[in-house]
Structures are given as structure tokens and as C-alpha cells.
Amino acid sequence: MNDVNLNPETQTDVSKLEVLISRQQLQERIRELGQTISADYKNKELDLVGVLKGGFIFLADLVRELEIPCRIHFLQASSYQDRKTSSGVVRLSHDLQLSGKHVMVVEDIYDTGLTLQRVFEDLQSQSPASLEICTLLSKKIEGKVPLDVKYTGFEIENRFVIGYGLDYAERYREIPDIVCMD
């Protein structure tokens, strides 16, 4: 995958792209994740930290499937800067106070692991009671930063995907399925 094949200034006809995960598959899997997380956190309050921007749709759907009390927070993390591959530099922005709380990071995609590692280390430094990761997608990438991701929606091949919150140059987040752009 290289960055020259797509120009962020031109629109792609998404109806011609391969649907990797349909909206029905997403709904079903998120319902299952909600049930598992609810059982694991029974009698606890959970602080969910959504990683913006890509994780907002997943977080919204996931929280509606939870049967436990929760609080929702967001942090901004970026490493792509209008590219199809990570720049390797992760920028975070938030004002969270999570000491002593049960915290779950909710992320759209675990690919290189650089963003999740940076987010996890940042939140771990706040001394939460517990800290787990939930990601909608986990890419099969050799040499990615190894992390203990407790909840994963789908494991996918190393493809460039958009839709359901995932974007390319801030476009295509509204697509209800996850589609391949490569």
C-alpha cells in the first residue's frame, strides 16, 4: 500500500469498493462485546475512553449494548495526517482524571500499535484501578507493537479500510460498512 494511489482531493465511488464487514456483522459483534464487557464489569462502574476521531461510532454503538453504569470520555490521538500509513509520531490531547477508576480504551483499529501503546501508557500513568483495551479491528501486521487487547471485534488482514468511523483524509467515516480502499 502506498500513498500515491489515492488523492484525498478526489472522491472515490464507494459503491465499487469491497465490503469487508457489513453493518449487520458489526451490529452482531458489538452486541456480543457489550454482553461480555457487561458480565466482566458486573457491579462496577466503567469509564470508557474513546479515541477520536475514528472510534466515535464504535463507542456510541458499544455503550448502547452495555448493561452496566458507565461514563464516557474522549481523547484525541493522531498519527496518520492524511496518509494511508502511520507517521510513527502519535499526538495526544485530553484532560482526563482517571485515578482509581476502572478504565477501558475504546479504539477503532489496532494496526501498528503505536497509537494504542501511547494512549495506554498515558492513561496507565494516572493509576487507574484497572485499564483494558477494546478495539473494533485488529490488523494482522508483522512486527506491530505487542499489546494486551482484551476485547477485539474482528481480526483483519493488512488492508486499508474505511467506513464506520474510519477515514481517509477525514472522508468516508459515514459509510455504514467497513470497506477496503486498497
Active-site residues, by number, are 111
β-strand 178-180 against 102-110: which pairing, if any?
Answer: unpaired
CB-CB contact of 117 with 136 (8 Å): no
How many Å apart are CA 45 and CA 63, to the nearest integer? 13
Beta bridge partners of 108: none
How many Å apart are CA 75 and CA 135, to the nearest integer? 15
Q: Which residue has the cell 457491579?
A: 43
> What does DSSP assign to residue 146?
P
φ/ψ bin of 159: left (φ > 0), alpha (ψ from -120 to 50), beta (otherwise): beta
